[in-house]
Structure 1
Amino acid sequence: MKISLLLQLSFITMLVVFLIDSPVYGHCLGDQKALLLKLKNGLTFDSSRSTKLVRWSQNTDCCQWPGVSCDQKGHALVLELDSEAIFSGLENPNQSIRSSIPMELSRLTKLMFLDLSNVALKLERGDLQTLVGNLANLRELYLDEVYISLKRIGWCSTLSSSLPQLRVLSMTDCGISSPFDPVLLNLHFLSVIRLDGNNLSSIVPELLANFTKLTNPQSQ
């Protein structure tokens, strides 16, 4: 009887220690919630059409918010704001990423997946660098239909120098008319690239052949 009781107590003790030391999935860190809420408050969006941002609340765990996924420690890893009725940036030509996408986004440095596609945003000179400059862990970037006004090879050099881990790049219908520069070859892990709907003034297929890991090249 005593041995059985000791075994039960030992098991309970081990279980308590395990639960205390184990990471809590989906439990948002305070600083991550604060950054995401500041991001939301800095955006202009139609709440009647929003399905994600409109449901972000101080009273709920940010790892449970639609469009947000976290790692074991509560850092935001995934941010999906595609088709979120965000419209700040295009109505006023003097606005840029600093007013339509607050700096808090660039401070979510653990992000591995970012989707801002199909929202009415405009990235001008320096804005793309502001957006991705601190996101060195990013694996997938979706900016489809985000108007990118960068002269010459600015977009190529910015992405290649800022996102060394990038696997997927999707920038269809972004209004890019600058050259497709070989500097993108520095993205050694790139396996998917989508640039349809842009006017790229270079021979893209020849350059794409140099991406050794490319499995899904799409560009026109």
Structure 2
Amino acid sequence: MASASTQCLGVDQRLLLLELRYSLVFDASTSSKLVRWDQSANSWSGVTCEDGLVVGLDLSEESISGGINGSSSLFRLKFLRSLNLAFNDFNSIAIPSGLANLSRLAHLNLSNAGFAGQIPVELSCLTKLRTLDLSLVYNIHKGLLTLEKLSLRSLIEDMGELRELYLDQVNVSAKGSEWCDALSSSVPKLEVLSMSYCSLFGPIDPSLLRLANLSIIRLDGNDLFSTVPSFLANFSSLKTLSLGEVGLWGEFPHEIFQIQTLHTLDLSSNELLEGSLPEFPENGSLQTLILSDTNISRKFPDSIGNLRNLSRIELFYWSNSIT
């Protein structure tokens, strides 16, 4: 985000930002934004404003470890439309329920921020969200976020404007018919679905097809334990399909290989998955094909030459780059 100038910010907004800066616990030696906030600042790094109001706040990678409580001035920045606290370390505290006060939020990024425990029900009040990112990088933090006391449906059922949902490493723990129906009935405009290692069970339910705008599906590391439904080929805008290490078995449908828009297909670590590579369409868009640790035939058809954008193939346990 572009920095806000002193002239851009109203006096009351500057005071709220200063109050926030002095309440937060962060490492000044690694900070590039907060450390420069003061009363005489000519610009406010990480702050975006419109008409004197703070509408965007990017405090990602600021080594913040605490200082947000129920009375935090953060929750009085009520015109915020975008909030990014990613890649901090909040020492496994719970996500603050006060975020519900920021009712105008369209983009919320708390990924890898060190939050842990139960996701608060108050997040479901953020009905204008278009992007919600609560994801974790594997093993980066001690604690994990969970939806054990709050179902996926309860979290997202009023988020009808949501376009991107990232819940990687969040413990959702739901069977196929539950999580597929919750998504398809709650967030019909969804374009990005990233729920790797969420303790999801299969099979993938046909109700997911109601999400006609899906372009990215990442479900790696779940317990789908099923065949691959051929209806996945009906997603006409699909660019990424990542189903690594999910217990797939049986014949992989040829028609999925042939999706014209598909850029990335990852089927790795599904030892019981079988099949052969089909004839590829003219001007196919496939760029990355990962078949390592599957039982899919490595015999390439002559039509592999149709994939002019193909730059990465992984077979067995080694990779081959095409230049």
Instruction: Return the TM-score normalized by structure 2.
Output: 0.45
Partners of 1:77 and 1:63 lie apart in 2 by 9
- Choose the corresponding residue for 2:235, options 211, 214, 219: 211
Residue 204 of structure 1 aligns to a residue whose secondary structure is: coil
Partner of 1:80: 109
Task: Assess, with a 3 A threshold, how the Cα gap between structure 1 residues 59 and 105 changes in structure 2: closer, same or farther.
Answer: closer
How far 1:129 sits from its partner (Å)?
Answer: 1.0
Partner of 1:102: 120
How far 1:57 sits from its partner (Å)?
Answer: 2.9
Partners of 1:65 and 1:211 lie apart in 2 by 29
Instruction: Return the TM-score normalized by structure 1.
Output: 0.64
How far 1:126 sits from its partner (Å)?
Answer: 5.5
Pick the structure with more helix per residue: 1
Flag structure 2 segments of 5+ consecutive residues without an equivalent.
1-48, 56-62, 86-102, 137-142, 245-323
How far 1:63 sits from its partner (Å)?
Answer: 2.6
Residue range with higher mean Cα deviation, 110-119 or 48-57: 48-57
Residue 217 of structure 2 aligns to a residue whose secondary structure is: strand
In the TM superposition, 1:137-156 aligns within 5 A as 137-156=161-180
Task: Assess, with a 3 A threshold, how the Cα gap between structure 1 residues 176 and 142 changes in structure 2: closer, same or farther.
Answer: same
Aligned residue type for 1:149: S
Task: Assess, with a 3 A threshold, how the Cα gap between structure 1 residues 107 and 178 changes in structure 2: closer, same or farther.
Answer: same
In the TM superposition, 1:1-220 aligns within 5 A as 24=50, 27=53, 50=65, 57-58=74-75, 63=80, 66-67=83-84, 75-88=104-117, 100-118=118-136, 120-124=144-148, 127-204=151-228, 206-220=230-244
How far 1:159 sits from its partner (Å)?
Answer: 0.4
Partners of 1:105 and 1:25 lie apart in 2 by 27
RMSD between aligned alpha carbons?
3.2
Flag structure 1 segments of 5+ consecutive residues without an equivalent.
1-22, 30-47, 69-73, 89-99
Contact 1:208-1:217 within 8 A present in 2 as well = no
Partners of 2:157 and 2:113 lie apart in 1 by 23
Pick the structure with more strand per residue: 2
How far 1:150 sits from its partner (Å)?
Answer: 1.3
Question: Which is bigger in relative contact order (C-alpha 8 A, separation at least 6)?
Answer: 1
| Percent sequence identity over aligned pairs | 42
How far 1:77 sits from its partner (Å)?
Answer: 0.5
Residue 57 of structure 1 aligns to a residue whose secondary structure is: helix
